[in-house]
Each structure stands twice: as structure tokens, then as C-alpha cells.
């Protein structure tokens, strides 16, 4: 039996429309399934955990956007990634959001019917699912990340996007990516770069002035297709770190179009690092996001440690 965690509101209602197409196909193929529908932020975490504890599942599948992926994976983390029979079911994804960065990283088709067909074929093949890494931020209650953590401007932009009343309208017009641009332009006016340092695997500490953002990535993309860390691989046991620093607002604005193609790599203002344990020291008020969702850290916390958990879950796709 497959457990589906469906976010009907994702992608301005696309999640609900996608499910209406998937369910008849599941019935046509006589695929046993259970579905749980999210109603508010954080709901997918609880519903995933509950489903794993109540049923013996062949897979847990998120239907929604990257936020749904984020919450479903964290629900699996809370449940120990094991169902009531003690098995460790794999994670699957049918993209139905506006960003779908997890789908890009895994090569999952954007078409829901194709994504479902591929998922069912993989389950029927009997092959062992591939293992995938997770990123874990040290701290009580801090969520894991399937895609990336971001510190600084990108986290401020993510928070603005999630609060945006215009996101729904732009999604309806097929212009959902523009909401990130508008949020970036607004954040550039008020955000102030900071001084920060990064230590990788206990080695030498790198110190940076005028830091705009630090991204610790498990997958190449964030923000709806921006290839911030082109070499990131969720199966290599390592995280890729991208630090953008030492440039003014105009320079930063000129840099962002290059990120969609990964052409920012090699610029003087961009530093890329790799490792299994990343320690970031920055002002306590620096915004933080995990998979595009805002993270609240303990007051006064200035040092953040992120560790890669190799092969923490199994994935279809």
C-alpha cells in the first residue's frame, strides 16, 4: 500500500487538481493506497508520522511543492522512517508546486501522470530504492532539509515569498517565478550584509565580509530553478556550500540572473566549499530557511552547525 500526503493548496490549488487526476489512475490500476490531505502549515509532518505509525506502507509519496517535500521528509524523520511493521518505506514525489526544486534534482517528470507511472514502475521492479542524504541543523526542534539550508538574504526572500499575497495570482497566470524576483527586489532595499565565517569538517575557518547569503545544499537548485550549487549531489555524502559576499547591491542584482544557469560559479564574489560538517558563525538575527521554509532558532544563537546524514532515507526517482 502507498501512502500519499497531498497538499491541495500547493501551486495555487494545483495539488488538489493533480490528486483528482492521480486517484482515478490508482483505482484503474488497482493500486492499494491511503491519502491524507494537509490543511495548514506543518500538517504534512503530523499526517506523515501518523500514517507511518498506523499502516504498513510500500512508499510514502508527497503530492505538492517543495514545502510538502520538506514536511513529509521531516514527518518520516520523526517516525524514524519506519512504518508499523518496522520497515523503512522509500519516499516518492509527484510535483505539484510552483518551484519543484526537488523534482529537478531527482529528474522526476513535471507531468504528474508521468511521475506517477515512473514511481509505480520502480516499485513494481523489485529493485532496492536508492539512498539519499539529508542535511541536519543542530538545535532543538530544528528541521532537516532535503534540498538546502539558506542563511541571509535568500532566507529573507523565502519568508517574504511565503507571506506574499501576490504569489497566488502569479501562479494562476503561470508567472510564479516572478514572485521570487519581486521579493528579492524588496529585500535588497532593507537587507544589510553581515560578517560571517564558515568552517568545513573542522579545518581552517574562512572569514567573509559583507556576506549576503550562505547556502548549504544537498541538491543543485533552490528558489524555483536557480542552480546555486551546480555540483551538489544528494547521494555523495557531502554538502556544497555557496557564500556570496563582498559586492554591492547592484553587483548582487547582476549576479542573480547568472544563478539560473549556474554561471555565477567562478566569480570573485562567490565561494564554493564542500564537506560533511559545516559550521557557520554569523549574527544571531540572520534569517534561516530550510527547503524554502523559515526556521526559528533560539534567541542569541550565533553558531549553526549542519551535518550531512548519508543515506538517511530511501527515494524513488
Q: Say how many domains are in the chain.
A: 2
Q: Are residues 70 and 165 in the same domain?
A: no
Residue 294 host element (H or E): strand 293-295
**β-bridge partners, 216:** 149, 241
Full domain range(s) for residue 69: 2-128
Name the one residue in this structure whose C-alpha cell is 501512502: 3
Exposure class string for 229-258: b at 16+ Cβ within 10 A, else e: bbebbbeeebbbbbbbbbbeeeebeebbee
180 with 239, same domain: the answer is yes
pLDDT tens by residue, 230-275: 999 999 999 999 999 999 999 998 998 899 899 999 999 999 999 9
Co-location of 118 and 197 in the same domain: no
DSSP assignment letter at 204: P
Same domain, 30 and 165: no
Residue that finishes a domain, picked among 128, 158, 180: 128
256 contact partners, CB below 8 Å, separation of at least 6: 184, 226
Per the domain annotation, does 134 fall within a domain? no
Residues 83 and 117 reside in one and the same domain: yes
Whether 133 is in a domain gets the answer no
- Whether 170 shows a pLDDT value over 80: the answer reads no
Q: In this structure, is residue 296 part of a structural domain?
A: yes
CATH number reported for the structural domain that contains residue 38 in this entry: 3.40.50.10330
Say whether both 37 and 106 belong to one domain.
yes
Kindly state whether residues 86 and 162 are assigned to the same domain. no
pTM over 0.85: yes
Q: What is the mean pLDDT of residues 140-147?
A: 90
Same domain, 260 and 148: yes
One domain, residues 23 and 115: yes
Clarify whether residues 120 and 254 are in a common domain.
no
Res 145 pLDDT > 90: yes
Mean pLDDT of 23-49: 96
Amino acid at each position: 500500500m502507498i501512502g500519499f500526503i497531498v497538499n491541495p493548496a500547493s501551486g495555487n490549488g494545483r495539488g488538489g487538481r493533480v490528486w483528482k487526476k492521480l486517484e482515478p489512475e490508482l483505482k484503474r490500476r488497482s493500486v492499494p493506497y491511503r491519502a491524507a490531505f494537509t490543511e495548514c502549515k506543518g500538517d504534512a509532518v503530523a499526517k506523515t508520522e501518523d500514517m507511518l505509525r498506523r499502516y504498513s506502507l510500500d512508499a510514502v509519496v508527497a503530492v505538492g511543492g517543495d514545502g510538502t517535500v520538506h514536511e513529509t521528509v521531516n514527518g518520516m524523520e520523526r517516525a524514524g522512517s519506519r512504518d508499523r511493521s518496522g520497515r523503512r518505506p522509500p519516499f516518492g514525489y509527484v510535483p505539484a508546486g510552483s518551484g519543484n526544486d526537488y523534482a529537478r534534482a531527482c529528474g522526476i517528470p513535471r507531468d504528474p501522470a508521468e511521475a506517477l507511472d515512473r514511481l509505480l514502475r520502480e516499485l513494481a521492479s523489485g529493485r532496492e530504492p536508492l539512498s539519499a542524504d539529508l542535511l541536519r541543523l543542530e538545535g532543538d526542534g530544528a528541521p532537516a532539509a532535503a534540498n538546502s539550508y539558506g542563511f541571509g538574504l535568500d532566507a529573507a526572500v523565502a519568508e517574504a515569498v511565503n507571506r506574499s499575497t501576490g504569489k497566488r495570482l502569479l501562479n494562476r497566470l503561470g508567472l510564479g517565478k516572478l514572485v521570487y524576483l519581486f521579493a528579492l527586489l524588496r529585500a535588497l532595499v532593507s537587507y544589510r550584509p553581515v560578517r560571517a565565517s564558515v568552517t568545513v569538517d573542522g579545518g581552517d575557518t574562512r572569514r567573509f565580509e559583507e556576506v549576503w547569503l550562505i547556502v548549504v545544499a544537498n541538491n543543485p537548485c533552490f528558489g524555483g530553478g536557480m542552480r546555486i550549487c551546480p555540483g551538489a549531489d544528494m547521494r555523495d555524502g557531502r554538502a556544497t556550500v555557496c557564500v556570496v559576499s563582498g559586492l554591492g547591491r547592484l553587483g548582487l542584482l547582476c549576479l542573480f540572473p547568472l544563478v539560473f544557469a549556474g554561471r555565477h560559479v567562478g566569480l570573485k564574489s562567490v565561494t564554493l566549499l564542500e564537506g560533511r560538517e559545516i559550521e557557520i558563525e554569523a549574527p544571531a538575527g540572520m534569517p534561516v530557511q530550510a527547503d524554502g521554509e523559515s526556521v526559528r532558532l533560539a534567541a542569541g544563537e550565533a553558531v549553526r552547525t549542519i551535518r550531512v546524514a548519508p543515506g538517511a532515507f530511501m527515494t524513488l526517482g
